[in-house]
């Protein structure tokens, strides 16, 4: 078929002529068959792709404006874009629906639970660290030195007294007056 004949068939099909629509289907059948033979989509049969192409052809007949451009170019581009969009959509869906998706079984759920701490735990840890930081910022340098000596150097309070040349009761007083529970809200 030539372009003039196709344009006349489109005008007739837009006015409701069924034979013109059938003639357009016959005219575009070789292009559609070539296109769906070269396109492979998972879970789509060849007939499904052919039907999608014909559906696009009928949409093109409905939306076509005779004044702007050629119907053949308009339709071939629309059919190609429709098939490409189906392929893109299928690849996007394969991530969540395909055979490579994970199955929610007990092992997977336990693995997720181990990897992601709960919101409450994260909030508690953040709050605890903030309160501990406030506590450390409030004490004096002498008190910080004593805490480092006892907790980080793993030495006893009795050993701190001769080291700093102070009475034993002073470090004990520091340790008991700066309990962390005193600073928590």
Mean pLDDT in residue range 126-136: 82
pTM: 0.50
Any idea which residue has 């840890």 for tokens?
125
114: pLDDT strictly greater than 70:
no
**CATH for 3-97, among 2.60.40.10, 1.25.40.10, 1.10.357.10, 1.10.1740.10?**
1.10.1740.10
152: pLDDT strictly greater than 80:
no
Count the helix, strand and coil residues of the chain and give each as a percent rounded to the nearest 5.
Answer: 75, 0, 25
Asked if 49 and 83 touch (Cβ cutoff 8 Å), the reply is: yes
Instruction: Copy the structure tokens of residue 84.
Output: 């490409």
CB neighbours of 100 closer than 8 A, spacing ≥ 6? 94
């Amino acid at each position: 078929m030539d372009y003039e004949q196709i344009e006349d068939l489109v005008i007739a099909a837009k006015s409701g002529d069924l034979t013109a629509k059938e003639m357009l289907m016959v005219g575009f059948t070789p292009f559609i068959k070539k296109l769906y033979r070269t396109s492979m989509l998972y879970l789509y049969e060849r007939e499904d792709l052919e039907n999608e192409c014909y559906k696009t052809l009928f949409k093109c007949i409905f939306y076509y404006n005779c004044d702007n451009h050629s119907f053949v170019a308009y339709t071939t581009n629309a059919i190609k874009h429709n098939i490409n969009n189906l392929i893109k959509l299928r690849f996007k869906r394969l991530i969540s629906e395909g055979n490579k998706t994970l199955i929610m079984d007990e092992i997977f759920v336990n693995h997720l639970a181990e990897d992601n701490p709960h919101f409450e735990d994260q909030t508690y840890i953040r709050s605890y660290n903030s309160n501990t930081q406030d506590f450390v910022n409030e004490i004096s340098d002498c008190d910080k030195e004593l805490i480092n000596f006892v907790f980080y150097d793993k030495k006893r309070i009795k050993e701190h007294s001769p080291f700093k040349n102070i009475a034993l009761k002073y470090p004990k007083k520091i340790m008991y007056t700066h309990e962390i529970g005193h600073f928590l809200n």
